[in-house]
Homo-oligomer: A and B are copies of this chain.
């Protein structure tokens, strides 16, 4: 890899060499911080104080055709996914989104029917979670760009941030992992699976679901000490909570979807790799105060979901997988723009 040099002879790497997370760090260093921010920079959402303990919750996440849309995904699905990935961040904070704005960059060659399909996908993604698309912007771009901004309001005290986990808290997730990672491998490598498995995995890639019901129900219990979604992968989410809360984790089970177990076995893939380091997954990863576990689990069950305990927060700074007496480190890696490829 060749590094460029600037006028002063200082080496300068390209975005591709730096990677998404370091780029965000660099940008943050040049931004003057807003005083009294109710949510720290780098959490799943941003927020601004309103009156009487309320906050305006804001999120923007951009879908880019080239890097975020596998070729089997329709435009309707891509547009819907652009909404879902923003809703998932709201879900992880326990906030109901009310309105979305969408900035579209459209390649010149898109047909009217393509544009209609995108519009219908945006509307479907918003309405599925009780929000509305209320405005936006349209222009021309080389790639398909769907940049969604989501808005909602919440009680500041009720927000489930990444930063509140304490040693002893129960680590939990809202579902089984690995299907989107398996689906992407399926698409890229033409692996063999049964039609049934194929459908399940491609469904996970093309029709992701945000755990909004679960997040809202958990938010009302006050039982959650820290929360994040798993869009960059389970491992990465665990490390983010660790970093923001100053804890470690002892993970005693990784909830692997049964289909992924079969898929991995048949294709001689490591199922843990698929479940831990995949990304494009929209489960919630959270910590629950021990004494409130039953309340939290009951709240999720009451909305038709399930809360799966997978370990405990510890005083250490490491994330340890500890299953059947076999211990291994869970690494801080996952999906990253500029570095990962679909």
Contact = CB atoms under 8 A, between A and B. Distances in A.
Contact of A31 (B6, B51, B132): B132
Copy number in this complex? 2
Q: What band does the interface of chain A fall in when counting residues whose beta carbon is under 8 Å from B? A: 35 or more
Contacts of A60: 60, 101-103, 135-137, 147, 149
A48 B101 contact: no
A142 B142 contact: yes
Nearest to A149: B149
Contact of A34 (B68, B99, B137): B99
Contact of A132 (B15, B34, B147): B34
Given A48-B134, A132-B31, A13 B111 contact: yes
A273 interface: no
B4 A111 contact: yes
A28 B31 CA distance: 35
B145 A31 contact: no
A127 interface: yes
Given A58-B135, A60-B135, A14 B109 contact: yes
Contact of A149 (B6, B52, B58): B58
A255 to B, nearest CB: 28
Nearest to A123: B31
Interface in A153-201: 153
A115 B15 contact: yes
A316 B113 CA distance: 37
A141 B99 contact: no
A27 to B, nearest CB: 4
Given A60-B137, A107-B15, A26 B115 contact: yes
A81 to B, nearest CB: 14
A29 interface: yes
A139 B46 contact: no
18 contacts: A24-B138, A27-B115, A27-B136, A29-B119, A30-B120, A31-B119, A31-B132, A32-B123, A37-B134, A48-B99, A48-B134, A60-B102, A60-B103, A60-B135, A62-B139, A67-B140, A103-B147, A141-B145
Given A58-B151, A59-B135, 9 more contacts: A14-B110, A15-B107, A37-B134, A46-B99, A50-B50, A51-B52, A60-B101, A141-B143, A141-B145
Q: 3 smallest A-B Cβ distances: which pairs?
A: A46-B135, A30-B119, A34-B132
